[in-house]
């Protein structure tokens, strides 16, 4: 990927499309190297975007929704990997408390919205009501209908307030989802990702599809449209999503001032305590 000249908008820079990583019978090592090269280039651009957001006082919200095991967490991890967690925050709320259940539905999300100079990534969001809550019967039909009525107005208010709202839906086929579920079952380090709700959702594939269609029909609005990510290939999905995110927020490369380290203070009059008095971690490796 070509380097961006100082002061030029990211619009002049081509993004990474599906065709940039050619499918075929390449060696795994070569494909991994190509993926890492593209990812590193995009992460450099994300650092530039982060500085632009901070310097210009932008407020950015990115929502990640989709099927279980569709790869939302993977792309969030790659976006935040090189960023400052004080500027780019990830919000992944758990089950609402008894008190929160009595609040206005959107209330518990509002406190996590960004201040000036921040970007917030929602790993699932208020769209729980249109998906899992509706399909699994955790909300009433009236609560679901009210969400579909009020959500577009809520999001229009966010946009009018100056928030840049971006919504991604990660789409994965049933065969690929099944493959990933089996992978999680067989991998002890990933088994925690399979919740009881994930297992129950397998029996309601069609209901979730219908719920998603209804949700899109009501909330795919001009001010905050849905963007669908083809997520059957996780690595390509990550690159395409990050590239698209960068294209939606015009930014310039604001290079920081040169850093000059001050001279280290001389150890005059300082005596280090005996090493034997400290508890060191055993060097098992």
* Pair 54, 116: CB distance under 8 Å: no
Q: What gap in Å lies between CA 111 and CA 97, rounded to an integer?
A: 15
Q: Domain for residue 41, yes or no? A: yes
State pTM to two decimals: 0.84
Q: Domain for residue 279, yes or no? A: no
CATH code of the domain containing 140: 3.40.50.300
pLDDT in tens, 102-115: 999 999 999 999 99
**Residue range(s) defining the domain that contains residue 112:** 11-20+27-250
Residue 235 vs residue 12, higher pLDDT: 235
pLDDT of amino acid 120: 98
* Pair 236, 18: CB distance under 8 Å: yes
Q: Domain for residue 74, yes or no? A: yes
pLDDT of amino acid 169: 97
Q: What is the pLDDT averaged over residues 214-242?
A: 97
Residue with tokens 């599906």: 18
Q: Domain for residue 195, yes or no? A: yes
Q: Domain for residue 271, yes or no? A: no
Q: How is the chain split among helix, strand and coil, in percent rounded to 5?
A: 50, 10, 40
Contacts of 150 (CB under 8 A, 6+ apart): 105, 106
Of all residues in the chain, what percent carry a pLDDT higher than 90?
69
Residue 99 vs residue 272, higher pLDDT: 99
Q: Domain for residue 264, yes or no? A: no
pLDDT bracket for residue 27 (50, 70, 90): low
pLDDT bracket for residue 207 (50, 70, 90): very high
Judged against a pLDDT cut of 50, whether residue 57 lies above it is answered with: yes
Most confident option among 22-36, 192-206, 264-278: 264-278
Q: What gap in Å lies between CA 263 and CA 285, rounded to an integer?
A: 34
pLDDT bracket for residue 265 (50, 70, 90): confident
Q: Domain for residue 61, yes or no? A: yes
Q: Any idea of the CA torsion for 171, 228, 237, 51, to the nearest 10 degrees?
A: -140
Judged against a pLDDT cut of 50, whether residue 12 lies above it is answered with: no
Q: Domain for residue 2, yes or no? A: no
Judged against a pLDDT cut of 80, whether residue 62 lies above it is answered with: yes
Total structural domains within the chain: 1
- DSSP for 147-184? HHHHHHHHHHHHHHTTEEEEEEEEE--HHHHHHHHHHH
* Pair 125, 109: CB distance under 8 Å: yes
Residue with tokens 């000249």: 5
Q: What gap in Å lies between CA 10 and CA 19, rounded to an integer?
A: 20
């Amino acid at each position: 990927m070509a380097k961006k000249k100082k002061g030029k908008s990211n619009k002049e820079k081509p993004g990474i499309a599906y065709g940039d990583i050619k499918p075929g019978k390449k060696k795994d090592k070569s494909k991994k190297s190509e993926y890492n090269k593209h990812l590193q280039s995009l992460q450099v651009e994300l650092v530039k975007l982060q500085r632009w957001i901070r310097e210009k006082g932008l407020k950015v919200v990115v929502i990640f929704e989709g099927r279980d095991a569709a790869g939302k967490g993977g792309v969030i991890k790659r976006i935040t990997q090189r960023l400052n967690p004080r500027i780019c925050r990830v919000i992944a709320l758990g089950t609402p408390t008894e008190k929160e259940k009595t609040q206005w539905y959107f209330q518990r999300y509002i406190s996590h919205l960004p201040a000036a100079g921040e970007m917030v990534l929602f790993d699932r969001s208020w769209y729980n009501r249109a998906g899992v809550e509706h399909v699994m019967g955790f909300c009433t039909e009236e609560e679901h209908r009210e969400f579909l009525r009020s959500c577009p107005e809520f999001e229009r208010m966010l946009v009018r307030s100056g928030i840049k709202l971006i919504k991604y839906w990660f789409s994965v086929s049933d065969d690929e989802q099944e493959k990933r579920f089996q992978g999680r079952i067989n991998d002890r380090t990933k088994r925690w990702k399979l919740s009881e709700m994930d297992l129950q959702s397998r029996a309601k594939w069609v209901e979730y599809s219908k719920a998603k269609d209804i949700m899109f029909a009501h909330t795919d609005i001009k001010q905050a449209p849905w963007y669908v990510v083809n997520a059957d290939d996780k690595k390509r999905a990550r690159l395409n999503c990050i590239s698209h995110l960068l294209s939606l927020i015009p930014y310039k490369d604001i290079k920081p001032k040169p850093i000059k380290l001050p001279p280290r203070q001389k150890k005059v009059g300082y005596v280090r305590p005996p090493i034997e008095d400290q508890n060191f971690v055993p060097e098992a490796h």
